Amino acid sequence: MKKVLLVTSILAICLITLSGCLNSKSSNKKYYDYYLIHSGYIGEMYQNEDASIIISSEDELNEYIDKYGKEALKSKLEKYDKNFFKKKSLALHYIELSSGSIKVTPIEPTVNGSIVVMNYKEHYPEIGTCDMNGYVFVVEVDKGVEKIISNPMIEY
């Protein structure tokens, strides 16, 4: 009898947790697309406090691209124009890595109110190189998103 009660309790907890996750994802989704840009190392982003930034206009985006001058950024971000920025913004987060051997995998972001949480995994190899590297995590969000929270998950 105790085993049946224990199993029933565990099953009920799992179902409640799962239904809460499914409901929160569908009601909180306010983004359209997300991806990584392999930008290479851009150390000056931290000096300028631009590691996490919400871009709300084409002018802001052009300034961002001009400031960091990476061809990878320009080629991926130049598709965003005035029409895009009428209803949406870009949430950009620079992920600085101490080695080019570290791989990054984006995971579905979550948006809750005015906050976007950028979830990603950093995969660390047993032996890595001694070169700096970086990625820019891009999330297309609705207007009104004002803050970015970075949520890295480390894997070895």
Evaluate if residue 29 carries a pLDDT over 60.
no
Q: In the structure encoding, which two tokens stand for residue 144, read together?
A: 């009104």
For residues 3 and 26, give the distance between their C-alpha atoms in angstroms, rounded to a whole number: 35
- Kindly indicate the confidence band of residue 30, based on its pLDDT and cuts at 50, 70 and 90: low
* Domain spans, the chain: 30-155
Evaluate if residue 3 carries a pLDDT over 60.
no
For tokens 């631009």, name the residue: 50
Longest dimension (CA), the chain: 69
85-130 pLDDT, tens digit each: 999 999 999 999 999 999 999 999 999 999 999 999 999 999 999 8
**pLDDT reported for residue 116:** 96
- Kindly indicate the confidence band of residue 31, based on its pLDDT and cuts at 50, 70 and 90: confident
Which residues share a beta bridge with 81?
Answer: none
pTM over 0.85: no
For residues 87 and 84, give the distance between their C-alpha atoms in angstroms, rounded to a whole number: 6
Evaluate if residue 16 carries a pLDDT over 70.
no
44-94 pLDDT, tens digit each: 887 777 899 999 999 999 999 999 878 889 999 999 999 999 999 999 999
Checking DSSP bridges between strand 115-123 and strand 147-155, what pairing results, if any?
parallel
For residues 95 and 154, give the distance between their C-alpha atoms in angstroms, rounded to a whole number: 13
For residues 89 and 154, give the distance between their C-alpha atoms in angstroms, rounded to a whole number: 28
In angstroms, what is the C-alpha Rg of the chain?
Answer: 19
3-state secondary structure of 6: helix
**pLDDT reported for residue 20:** 42
3-state secondary structure of 25: helix
For tokens 């992920």, name the residue: 95
Residue type, 24: S
For residues 53 and 50, give the distance between their C-alpha atoms in angstroms, rounded to a whole number: 6
